[in-house]
Amino acid sequence: MILVLAGTSDARELAVRLRAEGYPVLATVVTDSAAQSLAEAGLAARVGRLTAEQLAELAAEIGATAVVDATHPFAEEASRNAMAAAKRTGLPYVRFERERQTFSDRPGLVWADDYERAAELAAERRGVVMLTTGSKTLRIFAERLLGLPDTTLIARMLPRKDNMEKCEELGIEQKNIVAMQGPFSKELNAALYRHYGVTLMITKESGKVGAVDEKLEAALELGIECIVIGRPQIEYGSVHEDAEGVLAELRRHTRGEG
């Protein structure tokens, strides 16, 4: 049995591929919608944020032979918990991380090491700021940008009740909320930028599957400056960007191949 920490579309595809290769799979996810997506593919899932200890207990309960961490590139806590659980149980830890986006030193791109630095850079620039980093770190940007002269914060996030409640709590007006589930095409991104008169866009380096390229390409073509938050620096050990790499490592660990 392979314990897969999932939740994203590419993690779901990986879990499906593992099962097709003959590995029994149990996935852990944070949301009910992610569990439903896995269920539609015939995959079992446990819902909820699990600590390292809880992950270790679950691995022992199901007789896991490996832990595959296919969480989002910015799910730093989940990855650290997965590594700790694997170490505690003596199981192989395999990291699957989506391919990085293709932009690097394009004119108009500004890189930030973390959310706080991104918020400071945005505060220096002001204007109409579209935030596309999700609700988890919304407070960091709201507290730094709301109330600044000549500054409007547009929050783009999933259309969930808790997200809307957070926006209300932080003082973000309804007219400045884009509640939609991506990924978005380049054309839709451009239309949203034009509609709101965006002068600065903030995103995370989530990877090509996360449609970061489409966000950036649309913005840069319109002359909109972009702040890109780099991925957390975590020592995973071996990292794979495709299913073949994960499968090869699993075969070595669980089947003695290679």
Q: Which domains does the chain have, with CATH numbers?
A: 2-99+235-255 (3.40.50.720), 109-229 (3.40.50.150)
Is 0.85 surpassed by the pTM of this model?
A: no
Q: What percent of the chain stands above pLDDT 70?
A: 94
pLDDT for residue 97 = 86
The mean pLDDT value of the chain amounts to 91
Per residue of the chain (258 residues), what is the pLDDT tens digit?
999 999 788 899 999 999 999 999 999 998 888 889 899 999 999 999 999 999 999 999 999 999 999 998 888 899 999 999 999 999 999 999 877 665 566 788 999 999 999 999 999 999 999 999 989 899 999 999 999 999 999 999 999 999 999 999 999 999 999 999 878 899 999 999 999 999 999 998 876 655 678 889 999 999 999 999 988 888 888 889 899 999 999 998 876 654
E strands, the chain, are 2-5, 25-29, 44-47, 66-69, 93-96, 109-112, 127-131, 151-157, 177-179, 200-204, 225-229, 239-240
- Burial of residue 217 (CB within 10 Å: 0-12, 13-18, 19+) is middle
> Strands 127-131 and 2-5, how do they pair?
unpaired
- Judge whether 115 and 139 are in contact, CB under 8 Å: no
Cα(223)–Cα(198) distance, integer angstroms: 10
